[in-house]
């Protein structure tokens, strides 16, 4: 009998997020040599975006749960709807992106179903009939292989930007799932959501990140990084030391106690490379570090290290990039 795999989708600006397509692509890869029935779930207040996008990446069916109360994430409502669907559909595996939404929701649902969840997965592979997840622990010093041994539905959350997006064209069939929220009165409701006007990607999903450390010396000096980042359509991150010093808001902190990122390109300017920071970005594909200290730990993991004054190097680098991008 084919295993049933359910991918939990996320939507931003009326489009399925890239992290959702990454998880779908990995699920399709897991079908190789295995019988898998691949479906997705959309939760929201309005109809979903174009489902052909999901079909393009291998999803054959999408459960659609629409209710006016599901417009903004509410833990109680979302937990009820997802638990009801899983109890009805009973998938063997649930896959989702390890972002803010599902790192909060999935453990709640897994607990209700007396199952288990593996978070921050950087690889998923079969070992016989078992799905084995690889995840970093101890600030990334060790890669741990984990499987969920509980009976029933098993949950795996994948780190964004780890799995490549690939096309596996099929037709995605919509299936309506009516949420039963009668009599459920949440203890808290979202009164208002204020969104920033910036169009740059979130740190956890950005393919390019430009980050600065305490060596920038002030919040005003982060404008040096902002000019370069604007040319690259990249967010500006910061080390914990820079955030603690007030140079940058903590929502932009990269590190073990900030945001764990996995971009294709990471520029670390004036960041020495404390273990807390390395744990949040060491899996980046290419790392360029600029620091005056040739013994800085960041150079041990950097693809390219530049020993020098960032206040001289960054303006020149910005000029070069501007000439290239026009």
Whether residue 288 has pLDDT greater than 80: yes
Query: Is residue 96 a part of any domain in this protein?
Result: yes
Q: Is 172 helix (H, G, I), strand (E, B) or coil?
A: coil
What is the number of residues in the chain? Answer: 326
**Judgement on whether residues 103 and 212 belong to the same structural domain of the protein:** no
Q: What is the DSSP string of 102-160?
A: HHHHHHHHHHHTT--EEEEESEEEEETTEEEEEEEETTTTEEEEE---SSS-EEEEEPT
| pLDDT tens digits for range 104-148 | 999 999 999 999 999 999 999 999 999 999 999 887 889 999 999
**Judgement on whether residues 250 and 320 belong to the same structural domain of the protein:** yes
Q: What is the mean pLDDT of residues 50-59?
A: 95
Give the percent of the chain with pLDDT over 70: 100
Which tokens is 143 given? 């890669």
**Judgement on whether residues 157 and 8 belong to the same structural domain of the protein:** yes
**Judgement on whether residues 167 and 213 belong to the same structural domain of the protein:** no
Whether residue 196 has pLDDT greater than 90: no
| pLDDT tens digits for range 301-314 | 999 999 999 999 99
Whether residue 35 has pLDDT greater than 90: no
Compute and round to an integer the Cα radius of gyration of the chain: 21
> Can you give the residue range of the structural domain that contains 12?
3-176
**Judgement on whether residues 74 and 215 belong to the same structural domain of the protein:** no
Residues 172 and 118: their CA atoms lie apart, in Å, by 27
**Judgement on whether residues 52 and 166 belong to the same structural domain of the protein:** yes
**Judgement on whether residues 110 and 219 belong to the same structural domain of the protein:** no
Residues 25 and 27: their CA atoms lie apart, in Å, by 5
Query: Is residue 62 a part of any domain in this protein?
Result: yes
| pLDDT tens digits for range 72-103 | 999 999 999 999 999 999 999 999 999 999 99
Query: Is residue 103 a part of any domain in this protein?
Result: yes
Give how many domains the chain has, as a whole number: 2
- CATH number, domain of 132, equals 3.40.50.620
Query: Is residue 41 a part of any domain in this protein?
Result: yes
Whether residue 195 has pLDDT greater than 80: no
């Amino acid at each position: 009998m084919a295993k049933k795999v359910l991918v939990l989708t996320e939507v931003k600006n009326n489009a399925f997020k890239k992290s959702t397509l990454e998880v779908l692509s990995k699920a399709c890869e897991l079908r190789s040599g295995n019988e898998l029935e691949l479906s997705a779930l959309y939760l929201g207040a309005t109809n979903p975006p174009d489902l052909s996008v999901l079909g393009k990446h291998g999803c054959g069916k999408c459960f659609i749960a629409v209710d006016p109360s599901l417009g903004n994430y509410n833990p109680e409502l979302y937990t009820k709807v997802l638990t009801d669907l899983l109890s009805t559909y009973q998938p063997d595996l649930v896959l989702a992106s390890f972002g803010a939404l599902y790192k909060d929701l999935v453990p709640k649902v897994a607990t209700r179903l007396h199952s288990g969840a593996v978070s921050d997965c950087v690889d998923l592979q079969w070992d016989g009939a078992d799905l084995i997840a690889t995840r970093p622990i101890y600030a990334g010093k060790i890669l741990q292989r984990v499987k969920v041994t509980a009976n029933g539905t098993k949950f795996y959350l994948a780190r964004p930007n780890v799995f490549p997006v690939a096309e596996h064209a099929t037709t995605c069939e919509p299936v309506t799932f009516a949420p039963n929220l009668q009599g459920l009165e949440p203890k808290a409701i979202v009164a208002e959501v204020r969104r920033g006007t910036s169009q740059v990607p979130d740190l956890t999903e950005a393919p390019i990140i430009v980050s600065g450390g305490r060596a920038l010396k002030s919040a005003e000096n982060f404008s040096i990084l902002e000019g370069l980042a604007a040319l690259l359509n990249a967010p500006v991150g910061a080390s914990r030391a820079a955030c603690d010093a007030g140079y940058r808001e903590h929502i932009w902190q990269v590190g073990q106690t900030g945001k764990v990122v996995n971009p294709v390109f990471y520029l670390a300017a004036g960041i020495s490379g404390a273990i807390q920071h390395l744990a949040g970005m060491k899996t980046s594909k290419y790392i360029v570090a600029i620091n005056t200290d040739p013994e800085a730990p960041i150079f041990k993991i950097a693809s390219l290290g530049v020993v020098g004054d960032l206040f001289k190097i960054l303006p020149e680098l910005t000029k070069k990039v501007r000439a290239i991008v026009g």
